[in-house]
Amino acid sequence: MDTPSFTANGLGRDTQVTHRQSLWVRGSAVLWCYRALGHQRELPIFIVYSFVNRPSLLDISPQRSLIRALIEQGRDVYLLDWGVPTQHDSQRHLAEYVVGYLDDAISAALADAGLKRIDLLGVCQGGTLVLCYAALHPRRIRRLVLMVTPVDFATDSDRLARYAVAMDLSKMRAGGGNVSGRWLKLGFQALKPFGSRLNGLLAMQDARNDDSLLEHHRCTARWVADSPDQPGLAFEEFITLFYKENRLAAGSLVMDGRAVDLAQLRMPVLNIYALQDHLIPIESSMALGSLVSSHLYQSMEVNTGHMGVFTARQAHLTVPARIQLFLSS
């Protein structure tokens, strides 16, 4: 069914540009389906985004849409959008999202595609959740793509990790509710207090004579300004298990009573990371290479920042092409 478009915090026009339909809904979560374009047909891909910010970054403008690039390759795209948590979501465990919501959404996509396995792509925190899922359900995943995904949460250059470790989670969840997205946004901005805003202003200045490029930068600015609340208990568990205790890289993570062992990954993996990423250091992402079988592992470095992997012109020319090569090989 078609679902009405949304506007982010009253910041203007619809923040998604490619036509889509909702395939599955559970609570605040929606599984969007973008149908393939053209006559060529490839296997579909299932994307899992982070709880932090909106997945509209993947479809930010007609000129720089990862989703558009993927459907133009001839593949259906399924996108799991976690939505905006309600008070009912504040007490959901992280494992419920991974072994419950994600598993059910993948089942819906597999049924729609008539397949038993699917290609999976995880973005940032969504990539971390995808790794957990793939380790628990390796037979359901054909190939795995990760983009700017943290794996080792205790690298020396990880400023975000130091910020997360210092969080007073009891104060952030006063009353046991959800975590304020506005509060988190201020924390992220503090990691790069001047650079991000200055770069945005300079980009708009450079694009002043190009209407389409100027609109792209405006869309990006609207995306940055929109920070949804975080599901309280799941956020607290993610910060504790991953950032404070680094259990994924240490091999001691347990989810829903089962060990999450990355050595159980049996599918080819493409790990894409950004050389100038101030949120996810390359060392954090690159750590995956030592945790999975070397003959299954490939990597791609992109000379841009965290957002630039999805919005920079050069990345838009190279990243979808590399994903296509990986999925089709």
Active site residues: 124
DSSP code at position 3: -
CB within 8 A of 277, min separation 6: which ones? 148, 305, 306
245 backbone φψ class: left, alpha, beta (φ>0; ψ -120 to 50): alpha
Q: Could you give phi then psi for residue 256, rounded to 5 degrees?
A: 55, 40
Q: Are 13 and 7 in contact (CB under 8 A)?
A: yes
CB within 8 A of 286, min separation 6: which ones? 271, 273, 299
Give the whole-angstrom CA distance, residue 19 versus residue 26: 21
From the list 52, 50, 63, the residue with the least C-alpha distance to 17 is 63
The three-state secondary structure class of 276 is coil
Give the whole-angstrom CA distance, residue 135 versus residue 262: 6
The three-state secondary structure class of 234 is helix
Give the whole-angstrom CA distance, residue 122 versus residue 109: 15
Q: Tokens at residue 206, please?
A: 């450079």
Give the whole-angstrom CA distance, residue 127 versus residue 58: 14
CB within 8 A of 295, min separation 6: which ones? none
For tokens 């999805």, the residue is 310
Helices (H), 1-145: 66-72, 94-95, 103-113, 125-136
Give the whole-angstrom CA distance, residue 240 versus residue 279: 18
